[in-house]
Amino acid sequence: MSKAKHAIAIAAGGHNGEVRYFGEIEATTASEDLRKKRQQLLSFLLRHGRVFAGHKNWSRAHARWLAAQKFDHPAQQIVFQDQGRQAAMRKTGSIDWMPS
């Protein structure tokens, strides 16, 4: 997958709109960020032996399964809730599910 890049430029004042090039930064889209956060959550669950037996991740059934997940160790529960909140966001900014 190729990474998009944005040029960083600053208009030099007093030079009739002259623009000087200063470099590039990688551009990440909201969908890339969401995909990474969801993958991190699924990896966390897999490391703890939690695997969704349904047909499709991020479906309503998957959301119900995620909401039912509980961890005995408080630190694991905190990590799950934090990653879950990030992964629950849709591209629109609304929440699909919220871990408790």
CA distances from 63 to 2, 13, 14, 27, 58 (A): 31, 52, 56, 29, 6
15 in a structural domain:
no
49 in a structural domain:
yes
65 in a structural domain:
yes
68 in a structural domain:
yes
DSSP bridge partners of 9: 21
34 in a structural domain:
yes
Tell me the pLDDT of the chain (100 aa) as tens digits. Answer: 455 555 554 444 545 655 555 555 565 677 788 888 999 999 999 999 999 999 999 888 998 999 899 999 999 999 999 888 888 766 445 555 556 5
21 in a structural domain:
no
What is the crossing angle of helices 74-88 and 30-47, to 10°?
150
What is the number of residues in the chain? 100
5 in a structural domain:
no
Instruction: Count structural domains, the chain.
Output: 1
77 in a structural domain:
yes
Identify the domain containing residue 74 by its residue range. 30-88
**Model pTM greater than 0.95?**
no
Cβ count within 10 A of residue 43: 11
